Amino acid sequence: MAEDTVTICDNRTGKTVKLPIIHGTEGVPVVDVSTFYKEFGMFTLDPGFRSTAACNSKITFTDGDQGILLYRGYPIDQLARQSTFLEVCYLLMEGDLPSPTQYTQFKEIITHHTMVHEQLLNFYKGYRRDAHPMAIMVGVVGALSAFFHDSLDVFNPRHREISAHRLIAKIPTIAAASYKYSVGQPFVYPDNTLSYTENFLNMLFSVPCEKMRLSPVLVRAMDQILILHADHEQNASTSTVRLAGSSEANPFAAVSAGIGALWGPAHGGANEAVLTMLHQIGSVDNVDVFIKRAKDPDDPFRLMGFGHRVYKNYDPRARILKESAHAVLADVGRADDPLFRLALELERIAQEDEYFIKRKLYPNVDFYSGIIQSAIGIPTNMFTVIFAVARTVGWITQWMEMMTEGPSISRPRQLYIGHPRRDYVPMDAR
């Protein structure tokens, strides 16, 4: 039987080296190129990490061709339909589904860390009222580092665990406060009698003079959104958290870096961009014009919420969100919502179009999530913040996995294409 290796030959010298092929439990195998520089005196080049695995991980698996997403081995549709976000947090962090006792204990821990230090709330006042809430999130989450000197030893497993619990518990409080600040309403303190998701919605929407009535359909839809966004293996923001954490930076600083990476429209900012795009298209009558624009290589317009670096099939999360959109819109009495009809039509036409078929461009997680969130009453500029709330557990779990293995600073190499060595020319001689 052939050895599980790839043979690389440097045709200039004839030197041949066998590189080991490593198989994971699922998915495509990898070639271990860690000795490549030592063997050949060359680096490998892969901008955008199109062919490069940056770590080993036991947390999340995606198969982009089949449209599969597993958290700790469990299919996303089973978790989205049968589990709760907090149970998924436990699963991601601990590796297994909790027993009833473990779940009760975990809920207790998270519930009792929901408040933030009163002085942290002063940070908000430093922002302009019209600041994007993601700008506030980057700053305030990073600022958490200043409040927990008691547990910032990144090599202490108990410190890491406490930080993870604090982040999961406090992120809805911080996110809701960023919204309250932008609309000029008082901050709402967490209510520990409510579930995680009810509490989050309550902090977003209640005001001191009026109690919030939460529809179970909307609470469930929001819980499902949190589950679906909880982790997605080595995406841009998660890789950013790992990269920042690899320098032994504290987890609040690393997660704050991840929030910054999530913000961009090619990543978590796409949900906001989808709604902006749907408003821009305006009506079903204009779909053809925009589809034409999306296909034009000279037009920067892209169909937001379409396409994915990994999924070359229907994103399994988008399928669940499409179903959820029907339920949520019916619950809020907008079953015939024109934006939803527009989105469905856009999807239908794109899926029949040669351009999208050939490039395997399907709706991704962001395509329907904005429609659901606006039906719940969440403003467009908060969509990416909701994504950040959900992804915090993924970021911190991935960070913990890396720290448990013992981090080695991530330091990519480069192909230098700048000016060759030259001598400094004094100012008066230029």
86 is a site residue for ligand CMC (CB under 6 A): no
CB of 307 to ligand CMC, least distance (A): 2
**CB-based contacts of 17, cutoff 8 Å, min separation 6:** 7, 8, 35, 39, 40
- What track of x and - describes contact with ligand CMC for positions 298 through 317 (by CB under 6 A)? ----xxxxxxxx--------
List % helix, strand, coil for the chain (3-state, nearest 5). 55, 5, 40
Rounded distance, CA 274 to CA 279, Å?
9
Rounded distance, CA 159 to CA 396, Å?
12
308 is annotated as an active-site residue: yes
Q: Which tokens hold the place of 154?
A: 């990144």
175 is a site residue for ligand CMC (CB under 6 A): no
268 is a site residue for ligand CMC (CB under 6 A): yes
| Position closest to ligand CMC via CB | 307
359 is a site residue for ligand CMC (CB under 6 A): yes
The span of 105-113, 244-252, 356-364, 377-385 binding ligand CMC (CB under 6 A) equals 356-364
Rounded distance, CA 414 to CA 332, Å?
53
Question: What's the gap between Cα 140 and its chain centre?
Answer: 18
Question: For ligand CMC, which residue of 33, 188, 214, 270 counts as binding (CB under 6 A)?
Answer: 270
Of the pair 137, 270, the CB lying nearest ligand CMC is at: 270
335 is a site residue for ligand CMC (CB under 6 A): no
Of the pair 60, 364, the CB lying nearest ligand CMC is at: 364
368 is a site residue for ligand CMC (CB under 6 A): no
Of the pair 190, 269, the CB lying nearest ligand CMC is at: 269
Note the residue count of the chain.
430
> Read out DSSP for 26-70?
SS--EE--TTHHHHHS-----GGGSS------SSEEEETTTTEEE
165 is annotated as an active-site residue: no
242 is a site residue for ligand CMC (CB under 6 A): no
Rounded distance, CA 152 to CA 400, Å?
13
CB of 270 to ligand CMC, least distance (A): 3
**CB-based contacts of 113, cutoff 8 Å, min separation 6:** 165, 166, 169, 170
Q: Catalytic amino acids?
A: 308, 366
Footprint of ligand CMC (CB under 6 A): 235, 266-268, 270, 294, 302-309, 359, 361, 364-366
